[in-house]
């Protein structure tokens, strides 16, 4: 399986990162351990969580699993800060960063976070304050590398300039929504990432399950708790074109639609990896196949054109 480095870091990861938002939500600890075991058994090593997922429950389960397996030095831990954790607002203040990183380290049962990411922009805190606080964590050895999430070109450009001017650790990654259907989240910052060596990490890589092919008609809204939202957003002419292209390429390469959708993301300029979740061992096996799948230029063009 090909790996790629994130930004200018020495973190080499596979094309698919496990999204730990399901831990403590649709996966309780015992089942979560089985799914996490299956992920690493397939040679995948990167896990993305956040303090706000289950208000710390996701980090706690991931930390318990790493301790039980004794594998902290064999996996890459990514977490995020900035969502509302009871303060009533998004918070990237220096005070909160210094306090909350300790909580994340405790929940994860580790001495260092591999990639620490700002989760959402905080309009009340200057980026200089946030980045200065992050730089202190890197210098203290509590965080190895920094990333951002949900930033546009103006915010990312400003952040990179501030870090360069002050000789601080900079954002090496940006985690924005990105998939065959929804391309604007990362697409708007893609060129800046390519020019500055920042790696994109796409979330909602399967468009909330739509790109797995399970939602095709209005009646499919009953297939899951979020089915109604998926159907209302994606069952339209554009969605039908994307599914048709996925079906065609999937049949041609002998892979599931979700696997093809992940392989498309990994092949895009500036992309470091795609985040995807699974709640069963079988789903994790499919994620691994998607991480290994290489599409031809013709396949990629067909998929890209379908979503334009």
pLDDT in tens, 129-180: 999 999 999 999 999 999 999 999 999 999 999 999 999 999 999 999 999 9
Q: What's the pTM value of the predicted model, to 2 decimals?
A: 0.96
What is the rounded average pLDDT for all residues in the chain?
96
pLDDT at 220: 84
pLDDT at 247: 98
Beta bridge partners of 76: 46
pLDDT at 222: 84
**Domain span holding position 282:** 4-208+258-293
Tell whether 304 is covered by a domain. no
| Chain Cα centroid distance, residue 124 | 25
Tell whether 195 is covered by a domain. yes
pLDDT at 1: 67
Mean pLDDT of all residues in 125-130: 98
pLDDT in tens, 19-28: 999 999 999 9
Q: What is the C-alpha end-to-end distance of the chain, expressed in Å?
A: 29
For 257-290, b/e burial (b = at least 16 CB within 10 A) is: bbbbbbbbbbbbebbbbbbbbbeeeebbbbbbbb
CATH classification at residue 142: 3.20.20.100
| pLDDT of 225 strictly over 80 | no
Tell whether 45 is covered by a domain. yes
Tell whether 192 is covered by a domain. yes
Do 275 and 17 contact (CB within 8 A), yes or no? yes
Tell whether 275 is covered by a domain. yes
Number of domains in the chain: 1
Name the strand (E) or helix (H) holding 202: strand 199-203
pLDDT in tens, 89-102: 999 999 999 999 99
Tell whether 190 is covered by a domain. yes
Tell whether 279 is covered by a domain. yes
Tell whether 159 is covered by a domain. yes
């Amino acid at each position: 399986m090909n790996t790629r480095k994130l930004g200018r870091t020495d973190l080499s990861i596979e094309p698919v990162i496990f999204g730990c938002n399901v831990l403590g939500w649709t996966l309780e600890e015992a089942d979560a351990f089985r799914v996490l075991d299956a992920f690493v058994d397939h040679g995948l090593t990167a896990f993305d969580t956040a303090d706000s997922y289950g208000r710390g429950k996701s980090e706690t389960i991931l930390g318990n699993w790493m301790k039980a397996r004794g594998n902290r030095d064999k996996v890459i831990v990514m977490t995020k800060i900035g969502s509302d954790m009871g303060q009533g607002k998004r918070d990237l203040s220096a005070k909160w960063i210094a306090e909350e990183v300790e909580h994340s380290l405790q929940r994860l049962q580790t001495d260092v976070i591999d990639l620490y990411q700002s989760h959402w922009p905080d309009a009340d805190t200057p980026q200089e304050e946030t980045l200065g606080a992050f730089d202190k964590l890197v210098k203290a050895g509590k965080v190895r590398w920094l990333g951002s999430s949900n930033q546009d070109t103006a915010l990312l450009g400003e952040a990179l300039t501030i870090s360069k001017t002050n000789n601080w650790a900079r954002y090496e990654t940006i985690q924005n929504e990105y998939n065959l259907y929804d391309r604007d989240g990362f697409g708007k910052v893609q060129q800046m990432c390519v020019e500055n060596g920042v790696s994109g990490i796409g979330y909602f890589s399967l468009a909330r399950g739509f790109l797995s092919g399970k939602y095709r008609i209005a009646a499919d809204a009953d297939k899951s708790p979020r089915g109604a939202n998926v159907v209302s957003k994606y069952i339209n002419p554009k969605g039908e074109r994307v599914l048709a292209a996925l079906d065609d390429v999937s049949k041609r390469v002998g892979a599931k639609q979700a696997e093809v959708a992940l392989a498309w993301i990994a092949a895009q300029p500036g992309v470091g990896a795609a985040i995807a979740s699974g709640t069963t061992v079988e789903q994790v096996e499919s994620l691994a196949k998607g991480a290994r799948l290489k599409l031809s230029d013709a396949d990629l063009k067909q998929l890209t054109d379908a979503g334009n």
